[in-house]
Structure 1
């Protein structure tokens, strides 16, 4: 999926919602544990109830890897179930020396056919460039994350007063372009989102941290939106675990609709 197609999808649905499929067997409704593949059954019902509001789905790969071969089977079935016009994100946070990154890229882009993958930039360009060699596939580079420990490194300042995350943005922008490179930018960072947008004005951001983590959707749009929206705002726990009983799908639908309705207003306001 290219950038124009993604923006058109956002316009059609009046939404820039990404639903995170962080599917945990200890948190899904108990009645699903009787199913042959409870993870896939849970994902299937979440997708069925949120598909009218979501433009992207983001499986967090750790939740599937932890289950061994069965988890990979559940992930593959989930991918095959997601409609083809929906953007898919492998939240795998890969990044290693060149040959290894190339194989990671082949795994997620060719074998599993994800549209995108999250990548850690710490090892530099030769760990990221192999992911950028695939046509109509995207790297989503960790830039300014919303976790507490992000301050350990990302907010270190150079003797010129530049934060490390700003250095990462400047350098990585030389490797890709707005048609194949996105950035993870946490919603809880407030005005720092504006600093990121100033450095990479045309790139899409994947924004976690809205909802359960306390980020403000209004602030994300105010500081991060550009003329083609440029945002995919992720909600995981706030949607998929909104309900714990037989009607969990309907509860997920309700939460998705609430977010979409707010997003529709923000698109009208800032575009």
Structure 2
């Protein structure tokens, strides 16, 4: 899936919603715990309820890896279900990997060949040779951490390079744009840094941005669109807890659908404002 195809899905659904599948057994409805695979049963219900409004799904690997082999099985089943039943929905492995090139090749095979994700999040800290093995896969994407939504983001990301005058997140953008292109590379930019999207768009005007932090973390969808949208929308805005855990009863999927629909309607209005639909 390239950027044009992703934009076609955005126009078709009038949405740039990414649903984060951060599935926590401590927060899912209790009646599901008696199922053989409660994580998958929960994910399946959420996917079926929200697929009309979502253009992407993003499982966070930590929520699956904590359960060892059983969690990995749940992840495999979840990705296979999306790829089989909703093949036009973009899938992101929120894995935040980043290691020497030999190790990166193994990670790339895992997530792109074995699990068949469209994309993976990566830490760019170790440089080009840790990212290149992922870019070697035709039709797959890397999503580099650039400016994150966590509270201590400024420990490193705002440090200024005395020679170039650029902050670290700006160096990440500038250097990495020489590695890939707008059809195989995105950037993570937190919604809580929406005003800084103006600076990011000066460096990376055409790339898609994966934007977490809307909802429980306090980010504004309107501000993200105002400062970050480009001529192909260029945004995937993630919501996880705000959709997944709105209801703890047997009606949880319907409640998740209603929340996803609200976000989609707001996104539709924002897309119409700039003439993209």
Give the TM-score of the pair, scaled to structure 1: 0.99
- In the alignment, what sits opposite 2:178? 174
Q: Deviations over 1:16-40 (max 9, x none)?
A: 0000000011111101001000000
Provide the rounded CA distance (Å) in 2 between the counterparts of 1:143 and 1:27.
30
Provide the rounded CA distance (Å) in 2 between the counterparts of 1:182 and 1:245.
37
Alignment of 1:89-100 (within 5 A): 89-100=92-103
Confirm whether residue 199 of structure 1 aligns to residue 241 of structure 2.
no
State the SS of the aligned residue for 2:187. Answer: strand
Runs of 4+ in structure 1 over 4 Å off: none
- In the alignment, what sits opposite 2:23? 23
Provide the rounded CA distance (Å) in 1 between the counterparts of 2:167 and 2:272.
33
State the SS of the aligned residue for 1:191. Answer: helix
Q: Mean Cα displacement is larger for which, 253-262 or 157-166?
A: 157-166
Provide the rounded CA distance (Å) in 1 between the counterparts of 2:194 and 2:112.
32
Aligned length, in residue pairs:
271
Report the Cα offset of residue 165 of structure 1: 0.3
**Residues 194 and 228 in structure 2, CA contact (< 8 A), matched pair in contact too:** no
Match of 1:85 among 67, 88, 98: 88
- In the alignment, what sits opposite 2:121? 118
Report the Cα offset of residue 190 of structure 1: 2.1
Give the TM-score of the pair, scaled to structure 2: 0.97
Report the Cα offset of residue 173 of structure 1: 0.4
Provide the rounded CA distance (Å) in 1 between the counterparts of 2:246 and 2:100.
40
Provide the rounded CA distance (Å) in 2 between the counterparts of 1:36 and 1:257.
30
Provide the rounded CA distance (Å) in 2 between the counterparts of 1:10 and 1:241.
25
Provide the rounded CA distance (Å) in 1 between the counterparts of 2:58 and 2:195.
25
- In the alignment, what sits opposite 1:131? 134
- In the alignment, what sits opposite 2:219? 215
Match of 2:192 among 184, 188, 199: 188
Report the Cα offset of residue 187 of structure 1: 0.3
Say what the alpha-carbon RMSD is for the aligned residues.
0.7
Match of 1:104 among 102, 107, 115: 107
